[in-house]
Structure 1
Amino acid sequence: MKRIILLSASILFSVITFVMANRISSVPDEDNPPRGILTGRVTEAGSNVPLEYTTIAVYTIEDSSLVGGTVSDPEGNFEIRKLPYGEYYVVTNFVGYQKKVIDPVHVTPDNNRVDLGLLEMSVDKQSIEEVEIVADRKHVDYRLDKKIVNVSQDINAAGGTAADVLENTPSVSVDIEGNVTLRGSGSFTVLIDGKPSVLEGSDALQQIPASAIENIEIITNPSAKHDPDGNAGIINVIMKEKTDQGLNGVINASAGLNNKYRADFLLNRRVGNWNFFLGGNYNNNLYPGRLTREQITFTDSTDRILEADGAFDFRRSGTQIKGGVSHDFSEKSTLTLEASGGNYGFGIDRSNRSHEYTIPAANDVYYVSRSIMNRNGRYYNLNANYTKTFDSRDHQLTAMAYFSQSVGESTDDQEDYNTGPDYMVEDVIPVSNRSVETEDEYEARVEIDYSRPVGASGKLELGYQARIDDEFENRLYQEYDHDSETWIENALYTSDLDFFRNIQAAYVTYGGEWKNFQYQLGIRGEYTYRKIDHEKSEDIFLINRLDYYPTLHLARQFKNDHQLMLSYSKRVDRPRGYWLEPNRSYVDPYTIRIGNPALEPEYIHSLELGYQKGWGMNFLAAELYYRNTRNLITRVTEYDDSLDLFILNIENLNNDHSAGAELMVNWKFWKWLTVNGSFTPYYYRIDGDINGTPVSEETFSWSSNLNTTFQITPTTRLQTNMAYRSKTVTAQGSREGFYYMNVAFRQDLFDRKLSATLQVRDLFGSMKRDFTNVGENFLQHVVMSREPRVLTLTLSYRINNYRNEPGDRQGGGGEMDFGGGF
């Protein structure tokens, strides 16, 4: 209770400080005269489709001189700041639409925040007969606190998943197993429409169909309004949504060579103030590949060498059904209820041939290993969202309640056959074992967020969040006795674990303007209670602590669409549940894993400096970043002579430093050619101590992406995507570089109601995973490659001209809009 009181007092003190600071700074002076703000939203009349890049100009009524202007963002919103008090008229213009004039508009001390509301623009029928307009959006939009990946512009991701979309995106790398890293880290938070995902990280991104995604927000330095979880930040997936009257929807289906199938649908029906939606998806994909392993173990008298070669089939599958209803009580009050449920599955079937020998020479050992790993589960989640808007879009109250349950089972069956050099397994009795892990997890959240304008240009945000996670895991390991033909439990690898965590959080942010600068300050306080109870340990592992997470965002807008931004945030990376299991877990015939219930969270300090320059649809963006992780959770590989096994441990051992730059350019050279390229050089250093040995490794690496789109006809596109990832180091070794190329061709048919996309992934078969681990008495080298030249055909059918326009949802908590940006 004392900690809760301290947290509440801290937040209250922060609120009072920010408000008082704003009131003091709002006193006018000669260098900073009081000025007003003009806001609104532009849409197409009838369809309510937002109109991006609409020109908004403000003229004085007295002499029609231009005093301000801007262009609308992808949601159709605009904001013009620093308007002197006076009487004006506003003109909106967009090619193919009739000009709209709003007259008069009064900006006064008593009315210094003028919201023009919804501005509907009618299609100019004469213009539309003369020219066909195809509205393209940039592949990546840069905002002050996020990057927004527009999925509709990436035809290479058709028929794929969210992970496939991110494969072509700055800051993100995806390996051949679908593992996603954000700025070199696999630790990030995945949200879906601003709400938590039942699955975590790469697993969640691999299950979300790209065709159901509106856009993806990449937030590497979130404000205090967001959860601080994740070393590298947040990936927020915004799903498609429609609000037009009547029935509309979209159906997608894709099929690829070697058993790759995916389908999804989304239907919406709007009746008056009610909106009903229903969606579902199915996927079943097989990815064959090959793996080679070379391993040397050094002892005092001999060196033992293992050479293994084999094939594997990697499988992913899943189904989901979701539905919901929203009701507009008024233009400013909406309640949405949603529910979803489904199942997921993935696994690997392996078959390896291994040869072991020693130097000096002794008897050679040959054997065949066959293993089948399956992980399956089912889940459901329920959530309710309420939004109340007051006198302006910046004055809003939102509330969210979320509950989910997932039940899963993971099985691993292994058979080893001792053979001769010919690897024949006939009449050989295998050594058989299997492990079964079951888990039952519950998560509940409640969030309340409030924002309101303060003074002429300030904005205050407050919020509270409660998070409860409860998880039970049972791990069973068995060995098969061929004499009795029964499975016998091995108690050494069998155990139960109970995990409980309660997080209570509150935050406050305050943003505003000072001369030519825009700023936002924030702080988040979190009280964490974590308890781990393991049946084989007499200890109960507790964490009971209070943490603070400050954030800072600054922006400087220059003339001619130049913008400079600086941000800082402190974040936390909490240990995953399976990292905390203290029992031994079987991995393969050579390896076991031991968790650590005493693991503590990592703490990350992140600093970014960004620059943007825009020329309409063309832009240049550059970012410099630095990230320092303290109390770094480190995976350590050791060789145990007594067990003749490799042991994977995990400890809080090290600190690391990451620094780099991200350069990106989007340029439309001609109507038929658009190029989007990025280049990311970065430096990484890790310092620490592994098994009493000081460790200091550093590397300079780089990566690049090049996306080229050819608009052959108004309904025909060809797109290529090329990427390179250079060599990099790890705590105990290195990973070799690799490159790949994808090609896609899209044809729209029947007045764009039907689209067909043909794509080839990894055209040159060059994508692979090649890594080396080196320890005190061992060396490992593993190369993994997956099926090349994957050919897929995707069909998409739109019901009642369903279009991929952006919605109004702010996802994971909205964005800081300081007036400007792209």
Structure 2
Amino acid sequence: MLFAQGGSIKGLVFDQQTKRPIAYASVSVLKAADSTVVAGSLTKASGAFAFSGLTPGNYVLRVAFLGYHTKMTGTLNLTGNGQIEAGTILLSLSETALDQVQVTGRHADALNKIDKQTYRADQFESARGGTAIDVLKNLPSVTINGEGEISMRGSAGFLVLVNGKPVLTDAQTVLSQLPANSLQNIELITAPSAKYDPDGKAGIINITTKKGADDGFTMTANAQAGLPSTGDHGNQEQPKRFGGDLTLNYRKGKWDLSAGGNYLRADVAGYREGDVYTLNFLNNTITRFPSNGERSFDKYNYAGRFSASYKADARNTFSAGLFLGHRFQSRLADILYTNSTADLTTQAVQKSITYFNSNLQTKEGGFSLGSLDYTHTFANKSTLTASALYEHANLYGNSKNRNLQYPNTADTIQYVLNPYKNPINGYRLRLDYATAIGTGKLESGYQFRYDTQDGQFDYFVTPAVSQPDAARFRGSARAKNQINSFYTQYSGRESKLEYTAGLRYEYAARTVNLSYDPTPHQLKLSNLFPSANLLYTFKEGWQAKAGYSRRVQRTTNFELNPIPEREHSETLEQGDPDLLPEFVDLAELGLVRTFSKGSFFSTLYYQNIQNPIQRVNSVYADTILNRVFTNADRARSFGLEAGTNLQPASWWSLYLGGNIYNYKINGSLNILGVTSYVSNANWVYSINVNTNFRLGPAWNLQGNVNYLSRRPTAQGEDSRFLVPNASLRKSFMNGRFAATLQWQNIDLGMKRSNRQRITTWGNDFYTTTNYIYETDVVMLNLSFNLNKLRGKMKLPASEFGDKEF
């Protein structure tokens, strides 16, 4: 029997004007005396809601839905095991949303809350058929440069959550495996509270994926294919671009099952132009080696996902998730070098050579992840949640460098092979408890994290050469990370003020064992991570907020690995096993304004960074640069981000976001035992624009532009980066089927889009490289939906493996 124990309240929620049911409206049961929330639920497709197991007392119902006025019922007196029929509750459209709901039927594209900004993923038509990265790059404080590096408020370090589960891995890798079509919302948490992991110096990006919302069976399917760009830079082969994804969901009774799969082939054609010189003061020479040639990528990934949720009863819920995936990437750089060595004083050329370097770098990985969660709700509505996650990642690859005679490329001067295997195992255990205290909620928890990586690296040179330090180019690097953490935080609301304050304690131990070093490289840290957030509504439509959070940017095993890899002819890459993590203080002040035609927000922020990790260059040999990771002393950043969503007309919507900040880095750099001083500062800004024109009941035209200005680095600067896109969408069958034609990386022969120059310099070197990628790419995306997909598909997310890819 549904209402076997305790009292119950049930009813319906309908639209006052149309008299139709409202699905997914939020219904809360509040104590009449102090407005404490004792239960909450969403209405079904029929508009129905029901609460059971309630203790006797006086209650009121609060009913809310986006675009409608929130409604409070009168006092409901519940006695014993009685049942109360609340009847039909009618919601009226709010004035601010009336025009949008009646004319366009669109949901809000962006929302601002106490600690985050939330953006609806499907508002960005140009991302359809792509990945989560294609959605993210449109957000106001997010940028992506020519190398695909994602930054949030100018920082490449941030924590990724998928449906609230942490992904302590390289964001670019994990987000490239999430199809854009499976995303529901993107949340930017810029001043995270203590209940979140402190990882990520810029904050947190939470990805919410879709699942079924109605009882029964739901499905969505997408397919895409693309034509070659108008200019392929004379690459050896045409890039391949095609893919598809499928998501299925079944909900019935106590079960909620979701399954999905995707395949994406997304090759990138490209070209690079480079210029380098090194100075040898001992020999009084300057060596120049300008270069140009192909730089293209073959990329594909495929994955299967499954999740299950079982609600045994009102107080016990179990959920499990499984992810199996594979990712492949090969980068071909066929570069022609013209080397010359001259006298530094007279500039007289002493020797010169022209040769061809064919470099193929391959990365590959299989990922297996599983998660299990259990939540128990006590009689007083407090909750206890236990979670476990396990991951295995089998990572491997190689770099092949062939230096060939030119123009007779059949003759090999030297062949260098760097193969490696780098498997990872890791798990996470977590226990969280939440209970109501006073008018707020107290949350506390414990978490244990553990991961190991066993890297095996080799180095072969043909023909063999005399290299005194050759032994350090091969061997093993085994890393182990172990973290214990505790947190507690309290959140609540007093009249117009909403607040959260908490503290997290963490003990972390890291060990790196190297085959050629008998002494382990160990680091043990004990730290506190406080946080606080305030949101004050001082006038209807006006809110002010403030936040503070202490964060940590942990080192990856790639950054810790000191065994050099010959990335290509002119570069060696290696890490530092004694690299320190970055510690960051984040502070922000913001203002939020909502009005009848949209919303606007602006936020002033400040970041103080201790031990900023830098990737810097030094000279290894006259024609080879070392690229190494090291710590600087300190960096700081302060800036302003702002965004607005406007509906100037029923047929036109506009989203505009921007970020401007000043970044400064200074202090000593230890580059392979040589100390140098760096001091670099400059202003950086980015602009993201997305505009949509509703041409008819089934036609939409959209354009968007992503622009990143030039920005300083520890030893130089990166140039500006521009990417414009456009799309035309036609829907059929009452919206169940849609076709989207996309025009990506628009350039029209102007040679300004999708290209970026990276420049660094030091006392004894200068290097600049212009990376030029495809422009004017045309894609076609087809999508089909059987019923609607909403909400969260609770899948496990990579904790450890992706960051080493």
The TM-score bracket by the shorter chain reads 0.7 to 0.9
**Aligned pair in 2 of structure 1 residues 679, 122: CA closer, same or farther (>3 Å)?**
closer
Deviates more, 1:444-453 or 1:220-229: 444-453
User: Is it true that 1:215 corresponds to 2:185 in the alignment?
Assistant: yes
Per-residue CA shift, 1:748-807, capped at 9, x if unaligned?
Answer: 1011111111111111151211121010111111100110011111111112x2x24345
Q: CA RMSD in A?
A: 3.7
**Aligned pair in 2 of structure 1 residues 402, 637: CA closer, same or farther (>3 Å)?**
same
Q: Is the 8 A contact 2:12 2:21 kept in 1?
A: no
Q: Is the 8 A contact 1:198 1:404 kept in 2?
A: no
One-letter code of the match for 2:376?
Answer: K
Per-residue CA shift, 1:298-341, capped at 9, x if unaligned?
Answer: 23323222110011221221111121321111244321111121
How far apart are residue 392 of structure 1 and its match? 8.0
Deviates more, 1:660-669 or 1:631-640: 631-640
Give me the whole-angstrom Cα distance separating, in 2, the residues matched to 1:119 and 1:174. Answer: 49
User: Is it true that 1:261 corresponds to 2:235 in the alignment?
Assistant: no
**Aligned pair in 2 of structure 1 residues 461, 584: CA closer, same or farther (>3 Å)?**
same
User: Is it true that 1:178 corresponds to 2:166 in the alignment?
Assistant: no
Identify the residue that residue 348 of structure 2 maps to in structure 1: 360
From 608, 621, 635, the equivalent of 1:656 is 635
Q: Is the 8 A contact 2:355 2:404 kept in 1?
A: yes
Identify the residue that residue 291 of structure 1 maps to in structure 2: 272
Give me the whole-angstrom Cα distance separating, in 2, the residues matched to 1:778 and 1:123. Answer: 68
From 766, 788, 799, the equivalent of 2:775 is 788
Identify the residue that residue 640 of structure 1 maps to in structure 2: 620
From 106, 121, 126, the equivalent of 1:156 is 126
**Aligned pair in 2 of structure 1 residues 104, 343: CA closer, same or farther (>3 Å)?**
same
Equivalent residues in 2 for 1:548-559, closer than 5 Å: 548-559=528-539
Equivalent residues in 2 for 1:391-790, closer than 5 Å: 395-419=382-406, 423-426=407-410, 428-455=411-438, 457-481=439-463, 491-514=471-494, 516-616=496-596, 618-641=598-621, 644-690=623-669, 691-764=674-747, 766-790=753-777
Deviates more, 1:42-51 or 1:632-641: 42-51
User: Is it true that 1:314 corresponds to 2:288 in the alignment?
Assistant: no
Q: Is the 8 A contact 2:161 2:205 kept in 1?
A: yes
One-letter code of the match for 2:758?
Answer: F
Identify the residue that residue 280 of structure 1 maps to in structure 2: 261
Identify the residue that residue 378 of structure 1 maps to in structure 2: 366
Q: Is the 8 A contact 1:253 1:796 kept in 2?
A: yes
Deviates more, 1:702-711 or 1:355-364: 355-364
* DSSP 3-state at the match of 2:107: coil
Per-residue CA shift, 1:543-583, capped at 9, x if unaligned?
Answer: 22321100011121112121111100111111110111222
**Aligned pair in 2 of structure 1 residues 514, 123: CA closer, same or farther (>3 Å)?**
closer
Give me the whole-angstrom Cα distance separating, in 2, the residues matched to 1:546 and 1:320. Answer: 38
Give me the whole-angstrom Cα distance separating, in 1, the residues matched to 2:453 and 2:88. Answer: 50
**Aligned pair in 2 of structure 1 residues 400, 292: CA closer, same or farther (>3 Å)?**
same
How far apart are residue 281 of structure 1 and its match? 0.7
Identify the residue that residue 205 of structure 2 maps to in structure 1: 235
One-letter code of the match for 2:772?
Answer: S
Give me the whole-angstrom Cα distance separating, in 2, the residues matched to 1:318 and 1:392. Answer: 47
Equivalent residues in 2 for 1:315-334, closer than 5 Å: 315-334=298-317
Per-residue CA shift, 1:599-634, capped at 9, x if unaligned?
Answer: 121110000111101125610100010001102222
Give me the whole-angstrom Cα distance separating, in 2, the residues matched to 1:107 and 1:645. Answer: 80
How far apart are residue 637 of structure 1 and its match? 1.0
* DSSP 3-state at the match of 2:267: strand
Per-residue CA shift, 1:441-473, capped at 9, x if unaligned?
Answer: 111111121212211x22111111111111111
Give me the whole-angstrom Cα distance separating, in 1, the residues matched to 2:203 and 2:175. Answer: 15
Per-residue CA shift, 1:41-88, capped at 9, x if unaligned?
Answer: 979999984259x9x9x9x9xxxxxxxxxxx99999x9xxxxxx9997
Q: Is the 8 A contact 1:198 1:406 kept in 2?
A: no
How far apart are residue 116 of structure 1 and its match? 12
Give me the whole-angstrom Cα distance separating, in 2, the residues matched to 1:768 and 1:343. Answer: 29
User: Is it true that 1:189 corresponds to 2:159 in the alignment?
Assistant: yes
Identify the residue that residue 107 of structure 2 maps to in structure 1: 137
Q: Is the 8 A contact 1:50 1:806 kept in 2?
A: no
How far apart are residue 396 of structure 1 and its match? 2.8
Q: Is the 8 A contact 1:383 1:400 kept in 2?
A: yes
One-letter code of the match for 1:146?
Answer: K
One-letter code of the match for 1:478?
Answer: F
How far apart are residue 413 of structure 1 and its match? 0.9
Per-residue CA shift, 1:15-54, capped at 9, x if unaligned?
Answer: xxxxxxxxxxxxxxxxxxxxxxxx99979999984259x9
Give me the whole-angstrom Cα distance separating, in 1, the residues matched to 2:476 and 2:14. Answer: 56
* DSSP 3-state at the match of 1:178: coil
Give me the whole-angstrom Cα distance separating, in 2, the residues matched to 1:412 and 1:87. Answer: 68
* DSSP 3-state at the match of 1:763: coil
How far apart are residue 514 of structure 1 and its match? 4.7
Give me the whole-angstrom Cα distance separating, in 1, the residues matched to 2:560 and 2:536. Answer: 45
Give me the whole-angstrom Cα distance separating, in 2, the residues matched to 1:202 and 1:49. Answer: 36
How far apart are residue 207 of structure 1 and its match? 1.6
Give me the whole-angstrom Cα distance separating, in 2, the residues matched to 1:327 and 1:89. Answer: 27
How far apart are residue 296 of structure 1 and its match? 1.7
Give me the whole-angstrom Cα distance separating, in 2, the residues matched to 1:262 and 1:242. Answer: 23
Q: Is the 8 A contact 1:43 1:51 kept in 2?
A: no
* DSSP 3-state at the match of 1:658: strand
Deviates more, 1:541-550 or 1:375-384: 541-550
User: Normalized against structure 1, the TM-score is what?
Assistant: 0.82
Identify the residue that residue 217 of structure 2 maps to in structure 1: 247
Q: Is the 8 A contact 2:316 2:374 kept in 1?
A: yes
How far apart are residue 122 of structure 1 and its match? 10
User: Is it true that 1:50 corresponds to 2:24 in the alignment?
Assistant: yes
How far apart are residue 652 of structure 1 and its match? 2.2
How far apart are residue 520 of structure 1 and its match? 1.4
Q: Which 5+ residue runs of structure 2 have no aligned equivalent?
A: 1-9, 33-40, 50-56, 94-100, 229-239, 798-805
Give me the whole-angstrom Cα distance separating, in 1, the residues matched to 2:12 and 2:552. Answer: 37
Q: Which 5+ residue runs of structure 1 have no aligned equivalent?
A: 1-38, 61-71, 79-84, 125-130, 484-488, 813-822
From 225, 232, 235, the equivalent of 2:195 is 225
Q: Is the 8 A contact 1:553 1:567 kept in 2?
A: yes
Q: Is the 8 A contact 1:716 1:748 kept in 2?
A: yes
Identify the residue that residue 37 of structure 2 maps to in structure 1: none
How far apart are residue 491 of structure 1 and its match? 3.5
Per-residue CA shift, 1:368-405, capped at 9, x if unaligned?
Answer: 11011111111111111223345687x33322111110
How far apart are residue 734 of structure 1 and its match? 0.9
**Aligned pair in 2 of structure 1 residues 746, 117: CA closer, same or farther (>3 Å)?**
farther
Per-residue CA shift, 1:205-241, capped at 9, x if unaligned?
Answer: 1121100111122212110000101121222211111
Give me the whole-angstrom Cα distance separating, in 2, the residues matched to 1:303 and 1:41. Answer: 81
Q: Is the 8 A contact 2:153 2:659 kept in 1?
A: no
How far apart are residue 123 of structure 1 and its match? 13
* DSSP 3-state at the match of 1:136: coil
**Aligned pair in 2 of structure 1 residues 198, 310: CA closer, same or farther (>3 Å)?**
same
Give me the whole-angstrom Cα distance separating, in 2, the residues matched to 1:518 and 1:204. Answer: 34
Q: Is the 8 A contact 1:175 1:768 kept in 2?
A: no
**Aligned pair in 2 of structure 1 residues 579, 482: CA closer, same or farther (>3 Å)?**
closer
* DSSP 3-state at the match of 1:467: strand
Q: Is the 8 A contact 1:312 1:351 kept in 2?
A: yes
